[in-house]
A = this chain, B = another copy of it.
Amino acid sequence: MLTTAISPDTRSAIDDLYATYVHLLDGRDYEPWIDLFTDDCVYVVKARENEDRGLPLAALAFESKGMLRDRIYGISNTLFHEPYYQRHLVSNFRIRADDAGYLVGANYLVCRTKVGELSEVYSTGAFRDRIVERDGVLLFAEKRAIYDSELIPNSLIYPI
């Protein structure tokens, strides 16, 4: 008999959370996207090289839902930037449970499409996330996107 630490129901719920995350983010539907995080969430986008060496420098580091909301406000209203579409593929979830919730690792690919151009690879990397349950709903308490190429953050506008 095969056994896995994580029940199919839980795996299904975590799959659902990520599917909602990417659909809202790629659809630029930011208000419900923000509500996938806890109030005291940590959101970090960091180079693999820095992560592997234990260095703290990150391209983006937000320490609450309020900071995340500020960023979204900036993108939507004040930042001057060339718009582009994002398309996420998040795969190969490795899920571990502990007393506080779930630790989830996954690989991601984000493709970017600028107006009038072909789609291209924009960022690849891994998510190292912490998920918690609040009132029967799964939320991101920590989301860390560790990207493979240090060239990405030069033009990082939207969340990963």
Q: Report whether B4 and A116 are in contact in the complex, using a CB–CB cutoff of 8 Å.
A: no
Chain A 98-129 near chain B by CB (<8 Å), digits 1 or 0:
00000001110101010011111111111000
With a cutoff of 8 Å between Cβ atoms, the chain B residues found around residue A107 in the complex are 22-23, 26, 87-89
Q: How far is the CA of A121 from the CA of B111 in the complex (A)?
A: 9
With a cutoff of 8 Å between Cβ atoms, the chain B residues found around residue A113 in the complex are 124, 148-149
Q: Report whether B23 and A149 are in contact in the complex, using a CB–CB cutoff of 8 Å.
A: no
Q: How far is the CA of A16 from the CA of B9 in the complex (A)?
A: 15
Q: How far is the CA of A149 from the CA of B86 in the complex (A)?
A: 11
A94 CB to closest chain B CB (Å) equals 4
Tell which of B12, B13, B119 touches A124, judged by Cβ atoms closer than 8 Å: B119
Copies in the complex: 3
Q: How far is the CA of A20 from the CA of B4 in the complex (A)?
A: 13
Q: Report whether B93 and A151 are in contact in the complex, using a CB–CB cutoff of 8 Å.
A: no
Q: Report whether A87 and B125 are in contact in the complex, using a CB–CB cutoff of 8 Å.
A: yes
With a cutoff of 8 Å between Cβ atoms, the chain B residues found around residue A116 in the complex are 150-151
Q: Please tell me if A67 contacts chain B, counting CB pairs below 8 Å.
A: no
Q: Report whether A148 and B111 are in contact in the complex, using a CB–CB cutoff of 8 Å.
A: yes
With a cutoff of 8 Å between Cβ atoms, the chain B residues found around residue A26 in the complex are 107, 126
Q: A93-B19, A107-B87 are in contact. Are A118 and B121 (CB under 8 A)?
A: yes
A interface vs B, CB < 8 Å? 1-4, 6, 8-13, 15-16, 18-20, 22-23, 26, 48, 85, 87-94, 105-107, 109, 111, 113, 116-126, 133, 136, 138, 148-152
Query: Other than the known A109-B111, A118-B152, what 5 A-B pairs have Cβ atoms closer than 8 Å?
Result: A19-B94, A19-B105, A111-B124, A113-B148, A120-B121
